[in-house]
Amino acid sequence: MKAVVYKGPFEVAVEEVENPRIEHPNEVIVRVTSTAICGSDLHMYEGRTAAEPGIVFGHENLGVIEELGAGVTTLKRGDRVVMPFNVACGFCKNCVARFTGFCTTVNPGFAGGAYGYVAMGPWTGGQAEYLKVPYADFNCLKLPEGKEKESDFILLADIFPTGYHGNELAQVSPGESVAVYGGGPVGLMAAYSAMIRGAKKVFVVDRVLERLQKAEEIGAIPINFAEGNPVEQIKERTDGEGTDKGIDAVGYQAQAHTEDREEPATVLNSLVGTVRPTGALGIPGLYVPADPGGPDENSKRGMLMVSIGKLFEKGLRLGTGQCNVKRYNRQLRDMIIEDRARPSFVVSHELPLDEAPTAYDKFDKRVEGYTKVVLHPQA
Ligand code: NAD
Ligand code: ZN
Ligand code: ZN
């Protein structure tokens, strides 16, 4: 079958690889009809991780069940399903507590598994014609038959739940104001989720104009950090008080505000400045235990200069980590079915699998409006 294979920094290729095979009675093979490229893939694409050439990317996957192991009980051939990017067993200590992003079964020695991701276990990615799904009864979420709303449903694999998770971590409640740093797919989904949760005012901070424009289209207030300190810009618009809550949808590859260089702690420090005393921060943006490509000695060891004193003084709470997609995907799916949510506004490009190399290049450069790319390996 054809698959998107990582070749080395800034290079992927669509190549022939072996088809996946059922090796355990609880597995299914899915014919992949939609698979999205994620900002998290870019960390590997840019050579900023230990990902080795040869890995098949793709943790955001949707398709139709083609083949079932003998032990699968709730699914049948032809079912349209979307899988959380987390691979999870459903029965370990963390899964039972609904922390499916931290499954201890699927990736020994590390809490949490994912398809096609470095350090996240042996699970091959779905930017390919077929995908093997383990613990299939647990990991497949059934969708209405047919093709309808495919560009909404694919976002249930990661970014819609992850944006929602940012709000859950920050405990966003009706009537609150929220600052979202990052207007990428995760940031836009966090802003959209804040509205769903009844926030009164949502800011989205970025410098990519098309992304700020999308934020404005959904009713958020765009803040361009290239035009001045975002903390001050937001304070000016909140009577000097700052927001009730804040979400980091950028992570460790954050750009400095004034110059074109990385400053990994910028967003964390901006959030400490932006959120009012007693507020809370949700941090779905990715931070790594070590970043060999980091801009200074501390960040190379995963140590960031965060203003912990200010955080203490303001009594801010914070939460972070992988999204436990399974905790939210059913409810968010039902909102899509009932037309209460249309997250596909974030999808900028739908392309055949063969165009993955160009799509990675442009999404990585954040040019030509590339915000969220969905690939279609199969009809
Ligand atoms: P993305 O790279 O497309 O978006 C990041 C955006 O942040 C870009 O538009 C960039 O211009 C902007 N940005 C850079 N520096 C900034 C700054 N100082 N202030 C404000 N904005 C700034 O990525 P994405 O797909 O939206 O993902 C965002 C982050 O979320 C990544 O770190 C990704 O790895 C992480 N992620 C986490 C989870 C999870 O489960 N926790 C899931 C998916 C993605
Ligand atoms: Zn993702
Ligand atoms: Zn588990």
pLDDT tens figures, 7-66:
999 999 999 999 999 999 999 999 999 999 999 999 999 998 999 999 999 999 999 999
Residue with CA nearest ligand 1 atom 24? 39
Element (H, E) at 210: helix 209-217
Last residue of one domain, picked from the residues 320, 336, 366: 320
pLDDT reading at 110 higher than 90: no
Residue with CA nearest ligand 1 atom 25: 39
Which domain CATH number covers 176?
3.40.50.720
Where among 320, 342, 357 does a domain terminate? 320
What's the rounded Cα separation, in Å, for the pair 108 and 97?
18
Closest C-alpha among 254, 251, 213, 258 to residue 232: 258
Res. 322 pLDDT band, cuts 50 70 90: very high
Residues 316 and 183 in one domain: yes
75, 183: one domain: no
Q: Tell me, in angstroms, the distance from the centre of ligand 1 to residue 163's CA.
A: 11
Task: Please give the pLDDT value at position 258.
Answer: 85
pLDDT band at 195; cut points 50, 70, 90: very high
Domain span including residue 83: 2-158+324-376
Q: Structure pTM?
A: 0.97
Amino acid (one-letter) located at 2: K
Together in a domain, 313 and 166:
yes
Residue 307 burial by Cβ neighbours in a 10 Å radius (0-12, 13-18, 19+): middle
- Ligand having the closest approach to the CA of 251: 1
Question: Which residue puts its alpha carbon closest to atom 30 of ligand 1?
Answer: 285
Write down the pLDDT at residue 206.
Answer: 97
Determine the average pLDDT of the residues in 252-266: 93
User: What phi-psi label fits residue 251: left (phi over 0), alpha (psi between -120 and 50 degrees) or beta?
Assistant: left
Q: What is the mean pLDDT of residues 221-236?
A: 98
Same domain, 174 and 148: no
pLDDT bucket at 109, cuts 50 / 70 / 90: confident
- Quote the ligand 1 centre to 181 CA distance (angstroms): 8
| pLDDT value of position 259 | 87
Please report the pLDDT score of residue 263 as a whole number. 95
Do both 303 and 165 map to the same domain? yes
Q: Do 272 and 282 have their domain in common?
A: yes
The reply to whether 153 and 164 lie within a common domain is no
Question: What is the residue-averaged pLDDT of the chain?
Answer: 96
Same structural domain, 18 and 151:
yes
128-177, pLDDT tens digit by residue?
Answer: 999 999 999 999 999 999 999 999 999 999 999 999 999 999 999 999 99
Read off the pLDDT of each residue in 219-234 and give the average, rounded to a whole number. Answer: 97
Number of domains within the chain: 2
* Cα–ligand 3 centroid distance for 227 (angstroms): 45
Are both 7 and 114 inside the same structural domain?
A: yes
pLDDT mean over 168-194: 98
**How long is the chain?**
379
Place of tokens 């070590």: 290
- Residues 38, 7: one domain? yes
Closest CA to 158 of 186, 130, 191: 186
Confidence of residue 108 (pLDDT cuts 50, 70, 90): confident
CATH number of the domain encompassing residue 93: 3.90.180.10
Which of the residue ranges 27-36, 226-235, 366-375 would you say has the lowest mean pLDDT?
366-375
> What pLDDT sits at residue 364?
96
From the CA of 161, the nearest ligand is 1
Same domain, 308 and 168: yes
96 CA to centre of ligand 3 in angstroms: 7
Count of CB atoms situated within 10 Å of the CB of 276: 17
- 136 and 171 share a domain? no
71: three-class secondary structure by DSSP: coil
Torsion of CA 56, 59, 64, 67, to 10 degrees: 60
- C-alpha distances out from residue 50 to 43, 46, 119, 253, Å: 10, 11, 8, 16
- Give the nearest ligand 1 atom to 186 CA: 26
Question: At residue 296, does pLDDT exceed 90?
Answer: yes
Residue 111 has pLDDT above 90, yes or no: no
